[in-house]
Chains A and B, each alone.
Chain A
């Protein structure tokens, strides 16, 4: 199947649990961060974004936390549902000459068990 040979980080949770997906970035010049969700056979879909002048942003059932000191980003999903099962990507924009160029992270596979 499509997953054979993939070595992405994986997270398995039970329905109703909270999920935390982590992302490390390397470019200290990055000033804008986004989380995307990609379901099987589909394109990535925007979830939530955060600018570097913030350390937390909340959406509907999702929260993004940014720690610039250690260059770490996390996505928290409350009351995870089976429909949340997907690959989650963080992306960063470095600004400057890289303006407009989103760099995507490795991706994490989230599996939610009913």
Chain B
């Protein structure tokens, strides 16, 4: 069984559309994250939730809205998609906040292409 699974794996859409990426972890972890990886492979944190509570919100446009219905799920909704949103989005989880232990478990990524 996949530890951190995210869907869809690939997403191609037009500018201006709204799309969602779903993430689920079956590791029993308390903390979940969204990271964005650009075309140069640069990985940057977007959001972090601990027990369904938002604890990290980087300077991300408010078109991006994370939602955590329970601690095993963290979804990412993006409104009014722009060309610059094209990237690979990674969901991750950790037992506790990264820093106590840095072992983040990443999903396989969702490649978003905005045309």
Residues of A that sit less than 8 Å from B by CB: 5-8, 32-34, 38, 41-46, 49, 87, 89, 91, 93, 95, 99-104, 106-107
Q: Please name all residues of chain A whose beta carbon is closer than 8 Å to the beta carbon of B92 when the two chains form the complex.
A: 43
**CB neighbors of A among B44-71 (8 A):** 44-45, 48, 50, 55-56, 58
Verify B99–A95 contact, CB threshold 8 A: yes
Indicate if B97 sits at the interface (CB-CB under 8 A): yes
Q: Please name all residues of chain B whose beta carbon is closer than 8 Å to the beta carbon of A93 when the two chains form the complex.
A: 98-99, 102
Q: Please name all residues of chain B whose beta carbon is closer than 8 Å to the beta carbon of A101 when the two chains form the complex.
A: 45, 48, 56, 58, 98-99
| Size of the chain B interface, CB-CB below 8 angstroms | 28
Q: Given A43-B109, A101-B98, A89–B43 Cβ distance below 8 Å?
A: yes
| CB-CB nearest in chain A for B6 | A43
Of the candidate stretches B11-19, B34-42, B74-82, the one touching chain A is: B34-42
Q: Given A100-B97, A102-B98, A46–B41 Cβ distance below 8 Å?
A: no
* Sample (18) of A-B pairs whose CB atoms are under 8 Å apart: A6-B39, A6-B40, A8-B40, A32-B99, A42-B108, A42-B109, A43-B90, A87-B41, A93-B98, A93-B99, A100-B31, A100-B50, A100-B56, A101-B56, A102-B45, A102-B98, A102-B102, A104-B42
7 additional A-B residue pairs with CB within 8 Å, beyond A43-B109, A100-B98, A101-B56:
A5-B39, A8-B41, A38-B41, A44-B43, A89-B43, A100-B97, A107-B42
